[in-house]
Chains A and B, each alone.
Chain A
Amino acid sequence: MKEERSREVAERRINLILSRHILAKIRAHVEGAYPEEACGGLLGLVRDERAIEVADAVSLANAREEERRRRYLIGPGAVVELERRAEAANVQVVGYYHSHPDAAPVPSAFDREHAWPWYIYLIVSVENGRMARAEAWRLADDRRGFISLLVGDENRATIGTQDR
């Protein structure tokens, strides 16, 4: 039990490094899609177990046909295409981002139900059309919850709440 706990604590301290200009790109996308949910892929590099650097954010179409204000879907075709694109650029698909229009950037039970392990889920809250907060999460091994990651910019300064 102790081992698991220290591993969890260690995982929590993983930094997601997200430069200001990539965050701005995500912002433009999610604000443009408001009040619907927007989603996209995160391409990047796993520097080591403690730091994952996002090299690019790729906006993807929300494949949901209904309930688009509170649901998003990226189909397998888009995932495969994104992986090819990552491979060509010598990076990896490290995770995905999506917006929560007028809701906290905290994973919902629906997010948990559908989450993959290892991938980073960056959730951005959009309040009244403006991006409010960005938080990063990773599914816990037992699928019962998410672990919160620290999000830092290129200088490793914490970001996420200053855009409120």
Chain B
Amino acid sequence: MKTISVIVPTPLRQYTEGRDKIEVEAGTVAQALGQLTSRHSALRRHLYTEDGSLRSFVNIYLNDEDIRYLEDGEETGVGDGDEIRIVPSIAGGAATVLGADQVELSRDEIRRYARHIIMPEVGLEGQKKLKQARVLLIGAGGLGSPASLYLAAAGVGTIGLVDFDVVDYSNLQRQIIHGTGDVGRSKLASARERLLDINPEITVERHEVRLLSDNAMEILKDYDIIVDGTDNFPTRYLVNDACVLLGKPNVYGSIFRFEGQVSVFYAREGPCYRCLFREPPPPGLVPSCAEGGVLGVLPGIVGTMQANETVKLILGQGEPLIGRLLLFDSLRMKFRELRLRKDPDCPICGENPTIHELIDYEAFCGVTEAALEQQGLQGQVPTITATDLKARLDAGDPIRIIDVREPHEWNICNLETAELIPLASLPGQMNGLDSTEDIVVLCRSGARSARAVRLLQEAGFRRAYNLTGGLLAWSDEVDPSMPKY
């Protein structure tokens, strides 16, 4: 064994505690490098490829001779006092050929993608770009289903999915990646199986977590394009901000009832979501799909448009929806397009950004506060459970039951003895109620009825009670035949 020194170049000194010269004992160049990387293990990935060979841009000099030109290469013997020097070469180039020298298409793949490859806008080069692309879908639900199915079929090499839900019967009306047999399964397990069935050539990466400020950067950073299919404002702002901070395009879609929106938010080239909506709407103002409903076909249309934009971004073809918001009205069957401008005062992508890292998005969207308020309200008003209500009705107690839902909800299910007074019309109909009677107010889940009881209390009704958990609880506790929606 000889004592020799290894000279470490500036970019690698962060892994050697700042030292530029490391003394090692070794018989050959390979042993010397082995010693170096076992002592400073973080060096390994920068010097060697995954299969253990020296990276092409890493040059090793033994006393000013490039070992590639020495007969024994890395096995060249060393003598006391010899110096091994790691010298960088610097290489790179534009993205246009990134597919060409790194991925190949098999015969099977060429056959599979033939309809793509014969178009000059895609060609072999474009298909290789698709294969090399890494796309992350946030949500494997209404939008994520059609988007991921088409991206998988198109040959996007790596598809990441973020979701933590299980498949529910109420999903099947629009989330076409899942089948009836998948109810109760993890959405990611079900989606992955379906995607690999469509295209076994691709890789599906699962992130079975709720996307949060704590993990978003970590998850998003490994992907080229993010497809946002979330159904709530906190996650939408979180995805936007993480994409801006990481410099990644965000292919955005949203749906509500019969209307959809699509855009590409890419702060490097145009506006971001915050340029369009600086702040979220007050909680409760914009209902979610669970509350307001959605036409099942709509996410199919919006999600495939997101897939379309994603493929275009990968290919570098056409005009992406950057700086444009596409609005779709499925009842009128009309598309409208709004021009979006980058807001120079945008707090995250503007000229003087004030947001430099991810924040608490639940608090930003007022969700926490609203939930607390709701809980508080439900805690404050007098309540009755479904079981107790049933017992009192069976005992023949005179109780007036007011259902504050909407008429179309009434048609889905109701209690026979209840009266329908939608929440909005309650203030006008209070004079028809008797404050000396016991009144039980109900809705689907107990939230609207809590507000109704509060209104009644304020109007002097002392004997109004909220049905805890609403008709959902009634179905659970009293009458399983009552449908839940």
Taking Cβ atoms with an 8 Å cutoff, the residues of A that contact B are 1-2, 4-6, 8-9, 12-13, 37, 39, 67, 70-76, 79-80, 83, 92-93, 96, 98, 100-104, 106-111, 113-119, 121, 135, 140-145, 148, 158
Interface: B56 (CB within 8 A): yes
Would B93 and A108 count as touching, CB distance under 8 A? Answer: yes
Would B92 and A9 count as touching, CB distance under 8 A? Answer: no
Would B356 and A9 count as touching, CB distance under 8 A? Answer: yes
Question: 27 A-B residue contacts at CB 8 Å?
Answer: A1-B218, A9-B357, A70-B93, A70-B97, A72-B91, A76-B66, A79-B88, A100-B93, A106-B268, A107-B92, A108-B95, A109-B98, A109-B132, A110-B92, A111-B93, A114-B55, A114-B92, A115-B92, A116-B12, A117-B11, A118-B12, A118-B14, A119-B88, A144-B222, A145-B246, A148-B246, A158-B351
Interface: B214 (CB within 8 A): yes
A1, B268: Cα distance in complex, Å = 26
Residues on B with C-beta less than 8 A from A116 are: 9, 11-12, 46, 57, 88, 90
Interface: B10 (CB within 8 A): yes
Q: How far is the CB of B404 from chain A (nearest CB, A)?
A: 44
A117-B217 contact in complex given A71-B91, A100-B94, A101-B94, C-beta closer than 8 Å: no
Residues on B with C-beta less than 8 A from A74 are: 89-91
Would A113 and B102 count as touching, CB distance under 8 A? Answer: yes
Residues on A with C-beta less than 8 A from B10 are: 83, 92-93, 118-119
10 extra interchain contacts, Cβ-Cβ under 8 A, other than A135-B268, A145-B246? A9-B358, A72-B92, A73-B89, A76-B61, A96-B90, A107-B95, A110-B91, A114-B57, A117-B12, A145-B222
Interface: B45 (CB within 8 A): yes
Q: How far is the CB of B302 from chain A (nearest CB, A)?
A: 27
With a 10 A CB-CB cut-off, give which of B46, B95, B101 has the most chain A CB atoms: B95
Residues on A with C-beta less than 8 A from B214 are: 1-2, 5
A1, B132: Cα distance in complex, Å = 26
B70-98 interface (Cβ within 8 A of A): 87-98
Residues on B with C-beta less than 8 A from A72 are: 90-93
Would B101 and A145 count as touching, CB distance under 8 A? Answer: no
B293-334 interface (Cβ within 8 A of A): none
A117, B277: Cα distance in complex, Å = 37
Q: Identify the 3 closest CB pairs spanning chains A and B, nearest first.
A: A108-B95, A111-B92, A118-B11
Residues on B with C-beta less than 8 A from A110 are: 91-93, 95, 97-98, 101-102
Q: What mask results when residues 46 to 63 of chain B are scored 1 for a CB within 8 Å of chain A, else 0?
A: 100000000111010100
Would B218 and A106 count as touching, CB distance under 8 A? Answer: no
Interface: B257 (CB within 8 A): no
A90, B214: Cα distance in complex, Å = 41
Interface: B34 (CB within 8 A): no
A102, B46: Cα distance in complex, Å = 30
Q: Give the dominant DSSP class at B's interface.
A: mixed
A76-B11 contact in complex given A9-B356, A110-B98, A145-B221, C-beta closer than 8 Å: no
Taking Cβ atoms with an 8 Å cutoff, the residues of B that contact A are 9-15, 42, 45-46, 55-57, 59, 61, 66, 87-98, 101-102, 132, 214-215, 217-218, 221-222, 245-247, 268-269, 351, 356-358
Would B221 and A103 count as touching, CB distance under 8 A? Answer: no
A142, B66: Cα distance in complex, Å = 28
Would A73 and B91 count as touching, CB distance under 8 A? Answer: yes
Residues on A with C-beta less than 8 A from B132 are: 109
A60, B15: Cα distance in complex, Å = 28
Count: A-B pairs, CB below 8 Å: 143
Residues on A with C-beta less than 8 A from B96 are: 70, 103, 108
A96, B90: Cα distance in complex, Å = 8
A158, B353: Cα distance in complex, Å = 11
A4, B221: Cα distance in complex, Å = 12
A98, B45: Cα distance in complex, Å = 24
Would B90 and A70 count as touching, CB distance under 8 A? Answer: no
A111, B98: Cα distance in complex, Å = 9
Residues on B with C-beta less than 8 A from A71 are: 91-93, 97
Q: How far is the CB of B454 from chain A (nearest CB, A)?
A: 40
Would A1 and B215 count as touching, CB distance under 8 A? Answer: yes
Pick the residue among B11, B268, B358 that contacts A119 (CB under 8 A).
B11
Q: How far is the CB of A97 from chain B (nearest CB, A)?
A: 10
A121, B87: Cα distance in complex, Å = 17
Would B56 and A114 count as touching, CB distance under 8 A? Answer: yes
Q: How far is the CB of B215 from chain A (nearest CB, A)?
A: 6
A76-B87 contact in complex given A1-B218, A110-B102, C-beta closer than 8 Å: yes
A145, B45: Cα distance in complex, Å = 14
Residues on A with C-beta less than 8 A from B94 are: 37, 70, 100-103, 108
Would B245 and A79 count as touching, CB distance under 8 A? Answer: no
Would A109 and B12 count as touching, CB distance under 8 A? Answer: no
A143-B222 contact in complex given A103-B95, A116-B90, C-beta closer than 8 Å: no
A9, B98: Cα distance in complex, Å = 27
Residues on A with C-beta less than 8 A from B14 are: 117-118
Residues on B with C-beta less than 8 A from A5 are: 214-215, 217-218, 358
Residues on B with C-beta less than 8 A from A141 are: 42
A74, B59: Cα distance in complex, Å = 12
